[in-house]
Amino acid sequence: MSDPFTTLGVPARFTFAAGELEQRHRDLSRTLHPDRYVSAPPSERRVALERAVAVNDAFRLLRDPLGRAQALLARHGHPLRDDERAPPSLLMEVMELREALDAARTKPDRVAALRAEVSARIASGERAVAMAFDGDGAPDAAALAKARAAVVMLRYLRRFEEEADALEG
């Protein structure tokens, strides 16, 4: 699978202007969507379909900050594995958060407070990723290591958010 930034034709960085990725996705969809090839030769229909699928997949990945961060790590030669282990301190922290969520099950105020706490942690993680990838030139080893640790944390916090969503039905 080719690099999603290249597929979407956008610079490989973390921060994008509001609507920028969406605009690019729309422009490419206008060109590649199967609706545009109803009376085209079959060879073109196939090629367009393949590319429309690739563009949709790249957009799905990049519109999500966590997906974008993981794609950037992969692009710089440090892809995260699916079973990437978290450091014990992070595991402990996430466990405590989950226990707190479990205890707050029936108290919407408490759940909202936990969510706010997690949102703040996510924002700080995203700042570390932006620091590494939004500058000119390739990130240095230290910034890359920080970004990588931040992405591992973001992945755990995402699962927490999903559990909180499920709680709210």
Partner 1 sequence: MIVRDRSDRLTSARYDEAQDSMALLQIFDPKARPEPIGIDLGTTNSLVAHVVDGRATCVLDCDLSPLLPSVVHYASHGGVLVGAEARDLAAEHPRETLVSVKRFMGRGADDPETRRLGPYDFVSPREGESNTVRFRVRERVVTPVEVSAEILKVLKSRAESHLRTVGGAVITVPAYFDDAQRQATRDAARLAGLEVLRLLNEPTAAALAYGLDKGRTQGTFAVYDLGGGTFDITVLSLDDGVFQVRSTGGDSQLGGDDMDRAVALDALHAMGFEDLATVPPTLVRRALDAARAAKHALTDATETALTIERDGDAPYVRTLTRDDFDALVRPVVERTGPACRRALRDAGVKPEALDGVILVGGSTRVPLVRRYVKELFHHEPLADIDPDQVVAFGAALQADMLAGTGPREDALILDVIPLSLGIETMGGVAEKILPRNTTIPAGRAQQFTTYADNQTGFILHVVQGERELAADNRSLATFTLKGIPPMPAGAARLEVTFRVDADGLLSVGAKELTTGIEQHVEVKPSYGLEAEDVERMLMESFEFAEQDIAARQLRERVVEAEQVLGATQKALTIDGDLLDEDERAELEGALRALRDAMQSGDRQAIHLRTEGVDRAALPLAERRMNRAVQRAMSGHALQEFEEELKDRPVHPHLVGDGHTH
The answer to the question of residue 133 lying near partner 1 (CB under 8 A) is no
Stretch that binds partner 1, among 36-44, 64-72, 119-127, 150-158 (CB under 8 A): 36-44
Q: Which of 14, 59, 156, 160 binds partner 1 (CB under 8 A)?
A: 59
Looking at the Cβ atoms of 93 and 115, the one nearer to partner 1 is 115
The answer to the question of residue 123 lying near partner 1 (CB under 8 A) is no
Number of residues that bind partner 1 (CB under 8 A): 52
DSSP letters along 36-102, please? GGTTS-HHHHHHHHHHHHHHHHHHHHHHSHHHHHHHHHHHTT-PPPTTPPPPHHHHHHHHHHHHHHH
The answer to the question of residue 169 lying near partner 1 (CB under 8 A) is yes
**Which residue type occupies 53?**
V
User: Rounded to the nearest whole angstrom, what is the least distance from the CB of residue 51 to partner 1 in the complex?
Assistant: 6
Q: How far apart are CA 4 and CA 50, in angstroms?
A: 14
Question: Which residues in 62-101 contact partner 1 (CB under 8 A)?
Answer: none
Q: How far apart are CA 140 and CA 60, in angstroms?
A: 28
User: Rounded to the nearest whole angstrom, what is the least distance from the CB of residue 16 to partner 1 in the complex?
Assistant: 9
φ, ψ at 81 (rounded to 5°): -80, 160
Q: How far apart are CA 92 and CA 121, in angstroms?
A: 15
The answer to the question of residue 56 lying near partner 1 (CB under 8 A) is yes
The answer to the question of residue 28 lying near partner 1 (CB under 8 A) is yes
The answer to the question of residue 163 lying near partner 1 (CB under 8 A) is no
**Is the distance from CB of 14 to CB of 69 less than 8 angstroms?**
yes
- Helices and strands counted in the chain (H then E): 7, 0
Q: Which of 135, 159, 161, 163 binds partner 1 (CB under 8 A)?
A: 135
Q: Rule CB under 8 A: which residues touch partner 1?
A: 1-2, 5-7, 9-13, 15, 17, 20, 22-24, 26-36, 38-44, 46-49, 51-57, 59-60, 134-136, 165, 169
